[in-house]
């Protein structure tokens, strides 16, 4: 659906990406969406800095994400889960207030891509993204399909320094500029 072109003359730069599953019912062993994200990013040459599961609790979500944001070895954070409309879905509420810069286009592209696989059910997600400090944070739904859509449709390209015409990786050295 989206144009993706790589400059194969450039060497690939692997990133260190942390993955947080937000769920009151899943464990690390039963978190299939987080496991899928880890396997896809590693298959593409990135490293999983850490993978964890926490409850649908604003303070727990913020605690995990901020620990990774404050770790200079972590380049990006991806959360999965808690983006729906039930009373316990609070991941956007936990993280959007921490964004210094919102990534409105991520939500738009996610919904466009997701609609090609799940149709109007894409409306049931509040996927979002932004920048906290110098760390990109992507907030995804908790299903394997949504994680696959986000990785294959958007993140794979934008987290690859060879992607043309531009990508997030080439911005990273300048994120702390004032």
Q: What is the pLDDT of residue 67?
A: 98
Query: What rounded mean pLDDT belongs to the chain?
Result: 94
Mean pLDDT confidence for 44-49: 98
Q: Is the pLDDT of residue 1 over 60?
A: no
Query: For residue range 57-82, what is the model confidence (pLDDT) as tens digits?
Result: 999 999 999 999 999 999 999 999 99
The CATH class, in words, for 5-174 is alpha beta
18 touches 77 (CB < 8 A): yes
DSSP string, 33-88: HHHHHHHHHHHTT-EEEEEEEE-S-HHHHHHHHHHHHT-TT--EEEEES--SSSTT
Looking only at Cα atoms, what is the longest distance across the chain?
49
Write down the pTM of the prediction.
0.95
* pLDDT(3) > 70: no
Q: Give the CB-side neighbour count of residue 69, counting CA atoms within 13 A.
A: 23
* Gap between the Cα atoms of 56 and 70, Å rounded: 21
Taking the C-alpha atoms of residue 151 and residue 92, their distance in angstroms, rounded to an integer, is 19
d(CA 55, CA 63): 11
The model's pLDDT over 102-146, given as tens digits with 9 standing for 90+, comes to 999 999 999 999 989 988 888 778 999 999 999 999 999 999 999
Q: Where are the domains positioned within the chain?
A: 5-174
If residue 101 lies in a helix (H) or strand (E), which one and from where to where? strand 101-102
Main-chain dihedrals φ then ψ at residue 34, nearest 5 degrees: -65, -40
How far apart, in whole angstroms, are the C-alpha atoms of residue 149 and residue 176?
Answer: 30
């Amino acid at each position: 659906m989206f144009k993706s072109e790589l400059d194969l003359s450039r060497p690939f730069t692997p990133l260190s990406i942390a993955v947080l599953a937000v769920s009151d019912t899943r464990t690390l062993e039963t978190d299939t969406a987080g496991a899928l994200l880890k396997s896809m990013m590693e298959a593409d040459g990135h490293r999983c800095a850490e993978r964890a599961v926490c409850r649908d609790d604003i303070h727990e979500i913020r605690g995990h994400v901020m620990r990774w944001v404050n770790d200079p070895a972590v380049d990006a954070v991806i959360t999965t889960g808690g983006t729906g409309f039930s009373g316990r879905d609070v991941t956007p509420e936990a993280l959007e207030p921490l964004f210094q810069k919102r990534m409105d286009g991520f939500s738009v592209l996610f919904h466009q891509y997701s609609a090609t696989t799940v149709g109007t059910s894409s409306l049931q997600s509040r996927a979002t993204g932004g920048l906290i400090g110098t760390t990109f944070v992507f907030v995804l739904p908790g299903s394997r399909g949504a994680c696959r859509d986000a990785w294959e449709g958007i993140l794979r390209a934008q987290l690859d320094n060879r992607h043309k015409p531009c990508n997030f990786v080439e911005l990273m050295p300048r994120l702390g500029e004032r």
